Amino acid sequence: MAYSRSGRALLLAAVALLGARFFLTLTPTAPELGFTGVASTSQRLSRTCMGARKFFVGGNWKANGSPESVKQLVADLNAGQVTAKDVEVVVSPSFIYLNEVKAALRPDYAVAAQNLWDKAPGAWTGETPAAMLKDNGLDWVVLGHSERRENCGETSQVVADKTKFAIDNGLSTITCIGEKLEERESDTTFDVLDEQMKPIAAALSEAEWDKVVIAYEPVWAIGTGKVASPEQAEEVHAFLRKWLADNVSQKVSDSVRILYGGSVNDGNCVELGQKPNIDGFLVGGASLNGASFTTIVNAAS
């Protein structure tokens, strides 16, 4: 049977449409996460293959280290064999070691400050303005850690203002949120996270979220040896993902990386990292051991 040129084009289009429908029926779709946090490891693999969210591991050294121990830690990190192919790594020494670590650390690891002053350089005794961090070649800063919220009186609004100021000055942020034990036990975790996230969402444009990594750190699990179960952590991460979709945009929800922090170590990182909404870790004590931290970095693979 002969077909005209237009007839052949219509026939080819119909075949293509049928083929696409057939392919879609064979392709599994992700379950609705809601707040249950239940999804398979294969979803993380397929999502990573699509390049949606690059795995991220941060190391918060806090106020730890001597000249000798910092030098040794950098040497151990430099010697670590990273087998993960798609992971971003940032370590955060105390201020006094920032330049030293940046100069000596392997080039595939970045360095972050643990705080900043959200004003221009000037008469601010004891503070370090964002511009000084940027002028010294830093691209990252940790903000809103629970220890600063608790011990330095930083409110959620202060954390949001600092996040915005950091971005305005060319820095990317690891902005921390998380609930205390009594808030977890009184079943107000989501209310607390909502209160912490709202000022950040109000301060940032959609485009500025590209410069933000959110670190969920349940305060009751920081430095205590207690760890949220993978299911508990995933439930909160799924809530945050939905919160971003509802309060910012679906684009931001799909792209922003949400880390888990709270006694992450080389023994629990793989199981935690398999959850589809956990995009990496902010590591405390285990980041002070080069071999342990390297193992956590390799959890991305």
Among the listed residues 145, 147, 154, 234, the single catalytic one is: 145
Catalytic: which of 183, 217, 234, 235? 217
With beta carbons less than 8 A apart as the criterion, state whether 173 and 140 touch. yes
The single residue listed with the structure tokens 């929800």 is: 253
Q: Where are the alpha helices (DSSP H) in the chain?
A: 5-26, 41-49, 67-79, 98-104, 130-135, 146-152, 156-168, 181-185, 189-203, 230-247, 250-255, 269-273, 290-297
> Structure tokens of 190?
């989501």
143 pairs with which residues across the strands?
175
CA angle 282, 283, 289 (to 5 degrees): 150
* Torsions phi, psi for 4 (to 5 deg): -70, 170
Contact 279, 259 (CB under 8 A): yes
Per the rule left: phi > 0, alpha: psi between -120 and 50, beta: everything else, 232 is: alpha
Distance CA 37, CA 232 (A): 8
Check: CB of residue 92 under 8 Å from CB of residue 58: yes
Task: Say which residue the tokens 């850690």 belong to.
Answer: 145
217 a catalytic residue: yes
Q: Which residues are catalytic?
A: 145, 217
